[in-house]
Amino acid sequence: MKLVGVSGTLAGEKTSQAVNELLAAATSIDPKLEIELIDLREYEVELCRGEPLSYYNDDTWKVVKKILAADLLLFATPVYQASISGVLKNLLDYMPENAFKNKVTGIIATAWSEKHFLVPEYHLKPVLSYLKGMIPSTNIFIPNKSFDIETNELNDSNISRRIVNLAEEMIFLQRAIHDRWNPK
Higher pLDDT, 141 or 81: 141
The tens digit of pLDDT for each residue in 132-152 reads 999 999 899 999 999 988 888
pLDDT at 4 over 80: yes
pLDDT of residue 129: 96
**What is d(CA 87, CA 173) in angstroms, rounded to the nearest whole number?**
28
Number of domains, the chain: 1
**What is d(CA 168, CA 69) in angstroms, rounded to the nearest whole number?**
21
**What is d(CA 172, CA 104) in angstroms, rounded to the nearest whole number?**
10
**What is d(CA 31, CA 174) in angstroms, rounded to the nearest whole number?**
15
Q: What is the pTM of this model?
A: 0.94
Domain that residue 164 falls in: 2-181
pLDDT at 103 over 90: yes
**CATH number for 14:** 3.40.50.360
Radius of gyration of the chain (CA): 16
Between the alpha carbon of residue 97 and those of residues 7, 100, 109, 157, the distances in Å are 21, 8, 23, 37
**What is d(CA 72, CA 170) in angstroms, rounded to the nearest whole number?**
8
pLDDT of residue 184: 66
**What is d(CA 56, CA 64) in angstroms, rounded to the nearest whole number?**
11
pLDDT of residue 23: 98
**What is d(CA 184, CA 182) in angstroms, rounded to the nearest whole number?**
6
pLDDT at 59 over 80: yes
140-143, strands of its sheet edge to edge: 34-39, 2-7, 72-78, 104-111, 140-143
